[in-house]
């Protein structure tokens, strides 16, 4: 460690961070981080499966581009289906990352050091995935840039009354701020690890660290700037999903046209985002041997959040039904009755089981501390949330105002392949991210370890393995 009076030493004393411009012995987290990059067969198998799914989706999409959107199961009147479902799903998944990370930052929560980085990465990657689907879904996807407000020779501006135009702004803002937030948080780690690694990572980290040296001035600027990003990210996270919900709520389609949609979507997004975070963290903990840093108590905390959000979702479902009957419109009432009793009823009740009933198990501390159980519940919630979006997108369109236009919808295999491709693309990007970048915040862990008492679980003691 550096001597007193030097700027870096002050910083170390103040924040517990290791100055990066000094050769110091690697801390435990640094060693674990470096070790995590030596991946086992599980990682490579996962990556191959993810890439294979991406290729399958890409091939299916290439067929759709050549032949037409007709290879899907969409029809009149169900013009939106599994692509829009997948879009809403991934935008939902994106939610928890930046939002949770920013909230934890302001709460000065120790949880953040372990899960913040991967949650933020999940956000950026989920938007990169979800954002593709409205374009994939278009009849003329090659003209997607017409959604952007660009001066053009056609003298056409986009229609600012259309919620789809709002989407473009909401999503691009959110992905910009989330990416900056992720990058900013990673800056000290990149600077630090650039000294610990060799090869291409060293070059990459040196370039990306933008010359961050860990001086006092740098740290003070950093500490002032970081909360600004976090502060912008929180309302933006709420707004982006509200705007996505308006794609539906601003339409007059019964079953969509409801003021509850914005909070409903935000709650659903947090819910699905937490579930996805549990799955990813569990994978990292297992695959990268990060048991010391991603601990069971973290899962327990996520479990509490999960059950809280599940209760919110149940409340939302109940409110939707109440409003459908309270409002007095036969059309909307018919849709909700049809939703719970018609041909899509098994999916609806499955969604209720997945989202409202099974997560209640998380009330039990035993379940919350059982990693396998938590991952199972998270997978169930993830599936449940995809189908929840499917149900409200499809049933509302299929049973709208004009009974003569009613018709069901069933996705085709090609369509499902394109949706699976999204999951492959998401997983591929995430697996590449954790391989290339530090997936747990080194700087914050060091800081955190100086504040937090020794862990209660011997297995989770540093370097237990």
Partner 1 sequence: MDETKSNLSRRTFLGTVLTGSAAASLAGCSKKVPRYLVPDTIPSDDTVPGISRFYRTVCRECSAACGMTARVREGRAIKLEGNPKHPIGQGALCLRGQAAIEELYSPDRLGQPLVASPAGPAATSWDKAMEAFATGLRAAAGAHRQIVVLTRPERGALGSLFRNWLSALGQDGRQVVTFDAMESVWIREGARRAFGLDQHPVWDIARAKTLLSIGDDFLEDWGSPVEYARSLAEMRAGGGRCVYVGPRLSLTAAAADEWISAKPGSEGELVLGLARAALERGGPGVDALPSALRERLHGVLGPYTFARVAARTQVPEAQIKRLAGSFLGGRPSLCVGPGRAALGSDAATLAEAVFVLNALAGNLDGTVRFPTPSDEPWAAPSMTLDELATRAAAGEVGALVVHHANPLGHGPVFSRLREALGHIPMVAVLGNRLDETAQRAHVVLPDHHFLEAWGDATPRAGIRGLQQPVMTPVRSTRAAGTVLLDVARTLEATGLPDGAFDAVVLHSATTEDIERGGVFVEASPRAVALEATVLSRVEAEPSSTKDHPGALSLVVAPSVRYLDGLVPRGELLQEVPDPLTTIAWGGWVEVHPATAARLRVSTGDLVRVTTAAGQTELPAFVYAGVREDALAVPVPYATGLMGANVELRGQLAGARLESMGRKSSAALTVMNTSQHGRDLAQEVVGAAALPARPELPSMYDEHVHPVHRWGMAIDLDACTGCGACVAACYVENNLPIVGAEEVARGRDMGWIHIQRFVEGPTSNPRALFLPSMCQHCTNAPCETVCPTYATYHSSEGLNTQIYSRCVGTRYCENNCPYGVRRFNWFDWPRKEPLNLALNPDVTVRERGVVEKCTLCIQRIRGTKEQARIDGRVLKDGDITPACAQTCPSQAIVFGDLKDPASRVSRAASSGRSYRLLEELNTRPGLVYLARRREDVPT
User: How many alpha carbons fall within 13 Å on the CB side of residue 275?
Assistant: 29
DSSP label at residue 290: -
Binding mask 311-330 for partner 1 (x = CB under 8 A): -------------------x
Binding pattern to partner 1, positions 128-157, x when CB under 8 A?
------x--xxxxx-xx-xx--------xx
Record the tokens describing residue 19, joined without a space: 């100055």
User: Which string of x and - marks every residue 192-231 that binds partner 1 (by CB under 8 A)?
Assistant: ----------------------------------------
Smallest distance from the beta carbon of 393 to partner 1, in angstroms?
9
172 lines the binding site for partner 1 (CB under 8 A)? no
Q: How far apart are CA 263 and CA 320, in angstroms?
A: 12
Q: Does 454 bind partner 1 (CB under 8 A)?
A: no
Tell which residue, 356, 389, 361, 392, has the closest CA to residue 374. Answer: 361
Decide: 70 and 63 in contact? Cβ < 8 Å: no
**Look-up: residue for tokens 């008492």?**
453
DSSP assignment of 175-187 equals HHHHHHHHHHHHH
Q: What's the residue count for the chain?
A: 465
Residue 397 interacts with partner 1 (CB under 8 A)?
A: yes
When the beta carbons of 58 and 141 are compared against partner 1, the nearer one is: 141
- By CB under 8 A, residue 343 contacts partner 1: no
Does 403 interact with partner 1 (rule: CB under 8 A)?
yes
Q: Give the tokens for residue 2.
A: 């550096």
| Interface residue with partner 1, options 103, 158, 197, 260 (CB under 8 A) | 158
Could you say whether residue 405 binds partner 1 (CB under 8 A)?
yes
Interface pattern 243-282 for partner 1 (x via CB under 8 A) = ----x--xxxx-----------------------------
Is the separation of the CB atoms in 178 and 94 below 8 Å?
yes
User: Sign of the CA dihedral 246, 250, 256, 260?
Assistant: positive
CA distance 227 to 240: 20
Instruction: Please state the closest distance from residue 432 (CB atom) to partner 1, in A.
Output: 31
Q: Mask of contacts with partner 1, 104-123, x by CB under 8 A?
A: --------------------
126's tokens: 């989920």
Q: Which residues bind partner 1 (CB under 8 A)?
A: 67-70, 73-80, 134, 137-141, 143-144, 146-147, 156-159, 161-165, 168, 247, 250-253, 330-331, 334, 397, 400-408
């Amino acid at each position: 460690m550096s001597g007193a009076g030097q700027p870096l030493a002050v910083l170390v004393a103040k924040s517990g961070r290791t100055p990066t411009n000094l050769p110091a012995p690697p801390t435990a987290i640094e060693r674990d981080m470096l070790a995590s990059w030596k991946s086992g067969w599980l990682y490579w198998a996962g990556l191959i499966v993810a890439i294979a799914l991406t290729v399958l989706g890409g091939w299916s999409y290439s067929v759709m581009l050549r032949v037409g959107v007709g290879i899907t199961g969409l029809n009149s009147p169900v013009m939106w289906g599994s692509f829009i479902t997948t879009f809403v799903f991934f935008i939902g998944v994106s939610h928890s990352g930046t939002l949770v990370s920013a909230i934890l930052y302001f709460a000065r929560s120790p949880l953040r050091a372990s899960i913040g980085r991967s949650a933020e990465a999940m956000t950026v990657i989920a938007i990169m995935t979800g954002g593709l689907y409205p374009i994939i879904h278009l009849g003329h996807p090659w003209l997607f840039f017409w959604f952007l407000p660009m001066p053009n020779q056609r003298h056409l501006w986009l229609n600012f009354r259309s919620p789809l135009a709002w989407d473009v702004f909401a999503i691009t803002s959110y992905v910009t701020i989330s990416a900056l937030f992720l990058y900013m948080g990673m800056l000290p780690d990149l600077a630090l690890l650039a000294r610990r690694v060799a090869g291409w990572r060293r070059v990459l980290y040196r370039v990306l660290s933008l010359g961050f040296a860990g001086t006092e001035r740098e740290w003070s600027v950093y500490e002032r700037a970081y909360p600004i990003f976090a502060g912008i990210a929180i309302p933006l996270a709420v707004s982006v999903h509200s705007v996505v919900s308006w794609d539906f709520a601003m339409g007059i389609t019964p079953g969509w046209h409801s003021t509850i949609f914005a909070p409903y979507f935000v709650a659903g997004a947090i819910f699905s985002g937490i579930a996805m975070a549990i799955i990813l963290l569990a994978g990292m903990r297992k695959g990268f041997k990060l048991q010391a840093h991603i601990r069971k108590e973290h899962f327990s905390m996520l479990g509490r959040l999960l059950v809280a959000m599940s209760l919110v979702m149940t409340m939302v479902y109940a409110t939707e039904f109440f409003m459908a009957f309270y409002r007095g419109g036969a059309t909307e009432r018919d849709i909700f009755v049809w939703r719970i009793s018609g041909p899509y009823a098994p999916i609806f009740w499955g969604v209720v089981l997945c989202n409202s009933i099974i997560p209640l198990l998380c009330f039990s501390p035993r379940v919350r501390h059982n990693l396998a159980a938590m991952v199972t519940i998270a997978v169930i919630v993830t599936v449940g949330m995809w189908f929840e979006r499917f149900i409200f997108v499809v049933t509302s369109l299929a049973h709208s105002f004009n009974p003569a236009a009613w018709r069901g919808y069933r996705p085709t295999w090609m369509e499902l392949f394109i949706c699976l491709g999204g999951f492959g693309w998401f997983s591929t990007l995430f697996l590449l991210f954790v391989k290339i970048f530090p997936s747990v915040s080194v700087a914050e862990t060091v800081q955190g370890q100086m504040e937090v008492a020794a862990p209660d679980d011997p297995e989770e003691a540093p370097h237990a393995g």
